Amino acid sequence: MVTFSKAIGYCYNTNASKLLTPLCGAIFSLDSIKNMAQGLGVEKVKCLRIVNESTTFGGQYLPDSDIACAVVCMITSTKKLSDKHVRDSMISKVVKQYIHQGKEYVHTRFTTFAKYAGDVPPGLDSLTLIEMYNAVQSVSLPFRKLKIKLGFSNEKILP
């Protein structure tokens, strides 16, 4: 992650590319980085480092990670978890890990990160995408079975 953090600065400074790890990209939108940086009072490249380092395993050891960002990321990534006890435990562990490393919690930073977390364009939220996928599959499977039955496909469908 240290090398990736250096690459964030290099790519941003050479051609204004904004790099996000997959988990970071699942929580924060590239489009929100500018506004988030303004809300935090930091440069955009610093904001990119903060969100990337805070969303990685072991982020508490990285210099630009932020406890408020890490907590928001854990809350966002576990919001559909049905077992609330497990969710609470995961959030508490993140807090303990960051505090143990001397990271200071700042509530105003928490509200800034929370404002931009889960910033998914309308229609691309997980529930809508799953519904669309299921609709396509429910139409597609009978059609595939008919093609196999009529001999238009060598595909086999297991029972």
Do 92 and 125 belong to one domain?
no
> Tell me, what's the pLDDT at 50?
94
> Tell me, what's the pLDDT at 83?
92
Q: 79 Cβ partners below 8 Å, 6+ apart?
A: 118
Which residue would you say has higher pLDDT here, 14 or 118?
Answer: 118
> Mean pLDDT score of the chain, rounded to an integer?
83
Do 82 and 131 belong to one domain?
no
Give me 45's structure tokens. 């490249």
Q: Count the domains in the chain.
A: 2
Choose the most confident range, by mean pLDDT, from 5-19, 33-47, 115-129, 135-149: 33-47
Compute CA 13 distance to the chain's CA centroid, rounded to the nearest angstrom: 24
Mean local confidence (pLDDT), 42-60: 92
Do 114 and 126 belong to one domain?
no
**Opening angle at CA 84, ends 77 and 64, nearest 5:** 35
What residue numbers bound the domain in which 158 lies?
120-159
Do 125 and 108 belong to one domain?
no
Q: Is 37 helix (H, G, I), strand (E, B) or coil?
A: helix
Do 29 and 53 belong to one domain?
yes
**Opening angle at CA 58, ends 74 and 62, nearest 5:** 105
Do 8 and 76 belong to one domain?
yes
- Whether 148 shows a pLDDT value over 60: the answer reads yes
Do 152 and 78 belong to one domain?
no
Do 54 and 24 belong to one domain?
yes
Do 74 and 143 belong to one domain?
no
Do 21 and 94 belong to one domain?
yes
Mean local confidence (pLDDT), 77-92: 92
Each residue's pLDDT tens digit, 61-82 = 999 999 999 999 999 988 888 8
Mean local confidence (pLDDT), 70-95: 93
Do 26 and 76 belong to one domain?
yes
Give me 2's structure tokens. 């240290």
Do 84 and 138 belong to one domain?
no
